[in-house]
């Protein structure tokens, strides 16, 4: 099953995609949020009307996560291009949930920014509370679905002006494009075997695979559950591979660019950039 949301901001309609057909879930479902995911989503589209989504805005596929928890430096080659050693334990930072936008919405280049960067990431959305989990298998059982994310980053804000934390450079408005779908785990045979890529103006930047993670999805969730609790609907971003502008190999984003990120089986985002 794939879930998505359509419509203008604040008036989104939840939709299910299965068998090549779209179904309107509005009404009894409410929205694709923590409450819906904690109930296990829907088992069948029987009783829901088909819907034509042609011409509709594709919104972020999840509504109102209470937290966006991010893992940094989770690919060895990205550590190398960033001038950092691979970490012994997961590096954690947070993004504000209000940074989330849809897969085709405008991305704003922050005022005074000269170093806005892209990062394709595998996003994990929780369907169960994850706290003090006993095993990595139990960690995987907490997942409601997977989503494509672009963890946009302003490197000067993140590094030179950080004050010791990444979040200044990570939490600018529009800095978390998501979508187009939330894909349920039964459609993803192995989250550690997914091709990941990013492009700017159609030119490839990142081209890697989730198998290159230092800490697997299951290990991250199990490890982090010893320190914090994830609630249904929360979003976990699991790190980015090499190929970002921070490497010095590519120019940073500027207003007018189009940045796209994609993951095998999950779809892709394609966001125009504008000046804030």
State the first-to-last Cα distance of the chain, in angstroms, to the nearest integer. 36
How sure is the predictor about 223, in pLDDT bands with cuts at 50, 70 and 90? Answer: very high
Over residues 235-274, the pLDDT tens digits come to 999 999 999 999 999 999 999 999 999 999 999 999 999 9
Instruction: Return left, alpha or beta for 123; rule: phi > 0 is left, psi -120 to 50 is alpha, else beta.
Output: beta
How sure is the predictor about 165, in pLDDT bands with cuts at 50, 70 and 90? Answer: confident
Q: What is the pLDDT of residue 137?
A: 96
In angstroms, the CA 122 to CA 78 distance is 15
pTM given for the model: 0.96
> Under a CB-based contact definition with an 8 Å cutoff, are residues 83 and 32 in contact?
no
Over residues 107-147, the pLDDT tens digits come to 999 999 999 999 999 999 999 999 999 999 999 999 999 99
How sure is the predictor about 159, in pLDDT bands with cuts at 50, 70 and 90? Answer: confident
User: Following DSSP, what letter does each residue of 99-157 receive, concatenated?
Assistant: GEE-TTS-EEEPTT-S-EE--EEEEEEESS-BSS-S-HHHHHTTEEEEEEEE--EEHII
In this predicted structure, the answer to whether residue 88 has a pLDDT above a threshold of 90 is: yes
Q: What is the pLDDT of residue 40?
A: 96
Q: What is the pLDDT of residue 78?
A: 87
Q: What is the pLDDT of residue 47?
A: 93
> Under a CB-based contact definition with an 8 Å cutoff, are residues 48 and 19 in contact?
no
Place of tokens 């209000």: 98
In this predicted structure, the answer to whether residue 167 has a pLDDT above a threshold of 90 is: no
> Under a CB-based contact definition with an 8 Å cutoff, are residues 107 and 175 in contact?
yes
Cα separations in angstroms, 94 against 26, 140, 255, 260: 31, 21, 25, 22
In this predicted structure, the answer to whether residue 224 has a pLDDT above a threshold of 90 is: yes
Q: Residue 45: which residues within 8 A CB-CB, separation 6 or more?
A: 16, 18, 21, 23
Over residues 171-182, the pLDDT tens digits come to 999 999 999 999
């Amino acid at each position: 099953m794939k879930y998505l949301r359509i419509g203008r901001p604040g008036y989104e309609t939840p939709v299910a995609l299965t068998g090549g057909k779209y179904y309107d879930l509005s009404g009894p479902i409410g929205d694709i949020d923590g409450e819906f995911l904690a109930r296990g989503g829907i088992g069948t589209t029987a009783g829901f009307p088909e819907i034509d989504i042609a011409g509709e805005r594709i919104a972020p596929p999840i509504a109102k996560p209470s937290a966006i928890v991010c893992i940094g430096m989770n690919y060895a080659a990205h550590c190398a291009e960033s001038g950092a050693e691979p970490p012994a334990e997961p590096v954690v930072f947070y993004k504000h949930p209000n940074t989330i936008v849809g897969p085709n919405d405008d991305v704003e280049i922050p005022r005074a920014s000269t170093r806005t960067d892209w990062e394709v990431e595998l996003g994990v959305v929780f369907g169960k509370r994850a706290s003090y989990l006993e095993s990595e298998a139990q960690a995987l059982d907490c997942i409601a679905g997977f989503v494509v994310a672009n963890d946009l980053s302003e490197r000067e804000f993140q590094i030179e002006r950080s004050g010791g934390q990444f979040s200044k450079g990570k939490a600018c408005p529009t800095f978390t494009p998501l979508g187009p779908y939330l894909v349920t785990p039964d459609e993803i045979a192995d989250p550690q075997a997914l091709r990941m890529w990013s492009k700017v103006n159609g030119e490839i930047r990142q081209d890697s695979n989730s198998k290159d993670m230092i800490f697997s999805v299951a290990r991250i969730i199990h490890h982090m559950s010893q320190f914090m609790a994830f609630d249904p609907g929360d979003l976990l971003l699991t790190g980015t591979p090499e190929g970002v502008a921070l490497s010095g190999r590519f120019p940073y984003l500027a207003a007018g660019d189009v940045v796209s990120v994609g993951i095998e089986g999950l779809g892709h985002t394609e966001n125009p950039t504008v000046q804030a």
